[in-house]
Amino acid sequence: MIGQNNRNAHVADVIKATEGDTTNYDSIITDSWRRCIQEHQLNPVTAPEVYVHTSAQLRERQQRMEDILRTARFGLETLHRQIAGLGYTILLTDAQGITIDFIGDPAFETELRHAGLYLGAEWSESLAGTNGVGTCIANGKGLIVHQGDHFSANHINLTCTAVPIFDPQGQIAAVLDISALRSPEEKQSQHLALALVTHCAHQVENATLFNHFNRNWILKFSSSPEFLCVDPEYVLALDEDGLITGFNNRTALLLRHEFGLAPVKGGDLKGRAFEDVFDCTLEKLGNFARLSHPRATIKLKHSGTILFLQAIPPTVSVRGPASTSMPKMPEPLANFTKGDPAVVTVLERAAKLADAPISLLIQGETGTGKEYFARAVHDSSARSHKEFVAINCAAFPESLIESELFGYEAGAFTGAQSKGKQGLVAQANGGTLFLDEIGDMPLMLQTRLLRVLAEREIIPVGATRPIKLDVRVIAATHRNLTAMIKTGQFREDLYYRLNGFELILPALRDRSDIEWLIERLIRLRCPTAPPVLTPEAASALYRYRWPGNVRELKNVLDFALAVCSKGVVSIDDLPSSVLGISMRPMERSQTDDSPVDSEAASLRTHLARRHWNVTQVARDLNVDRTTIHRRMKRFGIVAPNQCVE
């Protein structure tokens, strides 16, 4: 527990330091405090809390980060063994500071959860104030945020040591953090922790390069030969033309210094030629590769620095940079994205599983394209010449669903067709049965479906003998089935039958290919003379949050294409929902109030949901903080806690 006196003293320290008295703190900390107040609009008095994301959001983040999670896991476990017993918890966060992996002492689970040292917790500086992860992301380098260095008085018991893990193009991909609930008062006590975490992050970066660039040359460099092969300081990947495709962070720092480049985070080194960096020709690399022991040296062209080198040729021989391009994908699946990393991961999986004898469960918000995707999996499979039968489990009246699904014998019930009827499940025989909204299937039918899946046979209503079936089942839902299992609304055994593999489609607002998708949808609608968007219209579409996802985008474009003139879609052709405050359609239709009232109500809802954190709301609505302030003023909305804003 943090006493009120300590809290008050801490708040006074933060305020004093941000007003200029910075004597007791590192500048990196006081700069961050100033950012918290001035840019993130956080208030030390109200002590920001850590926001915890839902398990569905967490899973989506984890899926996006699948590669790094897998690569980093061994590093995390090794690090955990090194510091076991010292009371540290290890967190791996994504580049937004959301915790996607975690190793902590289960004995302290409640305390760790309470402190935000847990899966799903967001440690971005803009939400949680100065802290290890968030401030590391803001500065792009490793640091210690110890006890009173934290902005929020809620966190002044913690010590956090965080180091960025960079992707092979020099962007922050993740942050590795070790935190402890209790620690000595001296910040110096954490210096060894910083060295350990830095080393672990470096190893994760190297492992990522070795794993991902097996179609490229890998060059390992060190200033001494002893550890060159096992733990090189610098690692560089080159394509067959000798152009740089990837590097670890130490190499980025070395080469940026070499080229006199500003220490930016972007990929300013990618594509540069090996021969521009080293005093060596590309042909000679082959000779280095043939050396059995790494005693070869190489000279940096500009500084003349000499490094030991081990050169490893591509283990898979192809021309050109293969690691960044999309692998060959069946045509129907390839139409789903233009390179969004999370979607590509899902597609690669789906391509491999297209003919696997397992059921697939597709999760995703409404309108993300679950049915469209399921059909693409079917079309990519050997079953494509047979039927794809889609059933919306939420749309059938309960009384009809059994006979519709399983069919019935002649005269099975009053009103039945005299010849009987084949059910939808039997129609999918040899093909794919798509069960949409599976979370809405009544429990009684879940039991029947379980039998179909287990026995691979159906018994039509009124029949006595079962019919053998060969169907591939793909189910989809936007509901949280695991939560439904806990409340007894969904059968656990059915869940495991359906979930041979789970594929999660990201929300449209999280996809990087919206520009491509807009163009695709326009071309599908107007293949001969597709209208163009004005820059204002395009930017309104990019800014909008798309709660109805691709379906909503499609509807908006259909509307715009219908009302636009002279082949140009301007901002006036977009429906008002897309402009200004992005209200959810549901919220709008539920009220008969004037547009101003409903806008105000929507804003109030957003603010309340985010505990009146304007920065977070601005992020949700994709507008500036000042816009939110202006709107609050216009609607006369005042935060319940005046201190926040």
Ligand X SMILES: Nc1ncnc2c1ncn2[C@@H]1O[C@H](COP(=O)(O)OP(=O)(O)OP(=O)(O)O)[C@@H](O)[C@H]1O
Residues near ligand X (CB under 6 A): 335-336, 364, 366-372, 436, 476, 478, 520-521, 550-551, 554
Of residues 84, 15, 77, 80, the one with CA closest to residue 45: 15
Between 121 and 476, name the residue whose CB sits nearer to ligand X.
476
Contact 151, 17 (CB under 8 A): no
Between 300 and 505, name the residue whose CB sits nearer to ligand X.
505
Between 146 and 478, name the residue whose CB sits nearer to ligand X.
478
Vertex 597, ends 594 and 603: CA angle to 5°?
140
Distance, in Å, from the CA atom of 81 to the CA atom of 75, rounded to the nearest integer, reads 10
Between 73 and 525, name the residue whose CB sits nearer to ligand X.
525
List the alpha helices (DSSP H) in 66-219: 66-83, 109-115, 125-128, 132-139, 191-212
Residue nearest to ligand X (CB): 369
In the complex, least distance from residue 394 CB atom to ligand X, rounded to whole angstroms: 9
Between 123 and 336, name the residue whose CB sits nearer to ligand X.
336
In the complex, least distance from residue 514 CB atom to ligand X, rounded to whole angstroms: 11
Between 195 and 524, name the residue whose CB sits nearer to ligand X.
524
In the complex, least distance from residue 517 CB atom to ligand X, rounded to whole angstroms: 6
Between 257 and 551, name the residue whose CB sits nearer to ligand X.
551
Between 372 and 501, name the residue whose CB sits nearer to ligand X.
372
Of residues 625, 635, 626, 562, the one with CA closest to residue 604: 635
Between 308 and 336, name the residue whose CB sits nearer to ligand X.
336
In the complex, least distance from residue 346 CB atom to ligand X, rounded to whole angstroms: 12
DSSP string, 477-529: ESS-HHHHHHTTSS-HHHHHHH-SEEEEPPPGGG-S-HHHHHHHHHHHH-SSS
In the complex, least distance from residue 516 CB atom to ligand X, rounded to whole angstroms: 9
Phi/psi for 462 (5° steps) reads: 85, -5
Q: Which two tokens stand for residue 367?
A: 């309108």
Contact 76, 82 (CB under 8 A): no
The distance of Cα 620 from the centroid of its chain, to the nearest Å, equals 16
Distance, in Å, from the CA atom of 453 to the CA atom of 461, rounded to the nearest integer, reads 17
Distance, in Å, from the CA atom of 143 to the CA atom of 163, rounded to the nearest integer, reads 7
Between 246 and 369, name the residue whose CB sits nearer to ligand X.
369
Q: What is the 8-class DSSP label of residue 372?
A: H
Burial string for 547-570 (b: 16+ CB within 10 Å, else e) reads bbbbebbbebbebbbeebeeeebb
Contact 581, 551 (CB under 8 A): no
List the alpha helices (DSSP H) in 129-241: 132-139, 191-212
CB contact set of 125 (below 8 Å; sequence gap of 6+): 32, 35, 36, 40, 97, 131, 134, 135, 137, 138
